[in-house]
Amino acid sequence: MDNTDMKNIQWFPGHMAKTRRAITANLKLVDAVAEIVDSRLPLSSRNPEMDRLTAGKPRIVLLNKCDLADEKATQKWVNYFNNKGITALAVDCKSGKGLKQFIPTVKTKVLKDLMEKRQKNGMTGTPVRLMIVGIPNVGKSSLINKLAGAKRAKVEDRPGVTRIKQWVKLGNNVELLDMPGVLWPKFEDQNVAIKLAFTGAVSDDILDIETLAMKLLVFLKENYPQSLVERYKIEYSDDETGIELLEKVGRKRGMMIAGGEVNTERASITVIDEFRSAKLGRITLELPEIK
């Protein structure tokens, strides 16, 4: 992807450097790091530096938005992280599903040794402190709101807007450190940017909506063929291209313009919206590599 394609992605190297420094500086204040990723694209929705930045700290990965992802694929991702020695939990921070296990898992698994040490030393009253990190839109605010039980104002992560780090106290002797700042994923990889665009995590302007929809249709044809058959009642052959699929969807939905042509822009908006709201089913965009 060249620079012109990327012009609409907020890419602020200075801002990223500041966030990076803040994470490193605040790491000593917490017992563990909770990293939130999107279950539909667990690697593409991570900042590639997170492993290095949080090295040495116990960590839990929350595979959020699991309600939108393919359940079997999510299980593969849980295993993937477990095999790397990182505890992972599938959660849905919109409904709260799976979240009940979060703090108990941190205490009994991620911080097992520390908890035992505190117990032995009569320090059970010491709060458990967790740093919450994740790229924009993965659900950090939703997680904190669900856990804290109240709707907290969302503060935008923008350069020029001063946002200080804040501690959020939960009832069970747990404190969350909500880190300000943005750490974007690896946009230099075009496939990562496109997958993030499918989910709406980055501005839709990075690619025109028709290109985006066509790429999504080809992905679905190859990986979740039933989703297209069931939702749009279209038939297609293996070699069908993105534009052919898009026109079929548009025609089925009666999205026509003068002259008998399909309104491909409207059809694209429909496909993208229906994917994002899981009307095409629960779909995962990437799987762990099988070694």
| 145/263 with CB nearer ligand G4P | 145
Question: In this structure, what token pair is assigned to residue 145?
Answer: 């709101």
φ and ψ at residue 5, rounded to 5 degrees: -65, -30
| 66/216 with CB nearer ligand G4P | 66
Tell me which amino acid residue 228 is.
L
| 68/280 with CB nearer ligand G4P | 68
Residues 82-111 that bind ligand G4P (CB under 6 A): 92-94
CA pair distance 236, 217, nearest whole angstrom = 11
What is the contact mask toward ligand G4P in residues 179 to 208, using x (rule: CB under 6 A)? ------------------------------
**3-state SS assignment for residue 193:** helix
* Shortest Å distance, C-beta 221 to ligand G4P: 24
Size of the site for ligand G4P (CB under 6 A): 16
| 41/214 with CB nearer ligand G4P | 41
For tokens 């350069």, what's the residue? 159
For tokens 């035992």, what's the residue? 116
Residues 17-56 that bind ligand G4P (CB under 6 A): none
Among the residue ranges 12-20, 129-137, 215-223, 234-242, the one whose residues contact ligand G4P (CB under 6 A): 129-137
Under the binding rule (CB under 6 A), the answer on residue 286 touching ligand G4P is no
For tokens 């839709």, what's the residue? 204
CA pair distance 193, 239, nearest whole angstrom = 25
Under the binding rule (CB under 6 A), the answer on residue 142 touching ligand G4P is yes
* Shortest Å distance, C-beta 154 to ligand G4P: 6
Among the residue ranges 24-32, 69-77, 140-148, 235-243, the one whose residues contact ligand G4P (CB under 6 A): 140-148
Question: In this structure, what token pair is assigned to residue 31?
Answer: 């017992």
Under the binding rule (CB under 6 A), the answer on residue 141 touching ligand G4P is yes
CA 272 vs CA 50, 93, 210: distances in Å: 29, 22, 9
* Shortest Å distance, C-beta 2 to ligand G4P: 27
Q: Of 27, 31, 58, which is closest to residue 130 (Cα–Cα)?
A: 31
Q: Of 120, 138, 157, which is closest to residue 10 (Cα–Cα)?
A: 157
Question: In this structure, what token pair is assigned to residue 223?
Answer: 């990986």
Among residues 139, 181, 185, 242, which is the contact residue for ligand G4P, using CB under 6 A? 139
φ and ψ at residue 147, rounded to 5 degrees: -70, -40
What is the contact mask toward ligand G4P in residues 54 to 83, using x (rule: CB under 6 A)? ----------xx-xx---------------
Q: Of 245, 107, 88, which is closest to residue 172 (Cα–Cα)?
A: 107
Pairing of β 256-257 and β 261-262: antiparallel
* Shortest Å distance, C-beta 96 to ligand G4P: 9
**Which residues of the shown chain bind ligand G4P in the complex (CB under 6 A)?**
64-65, 67-68, 92-94, 134, 136-142, 154
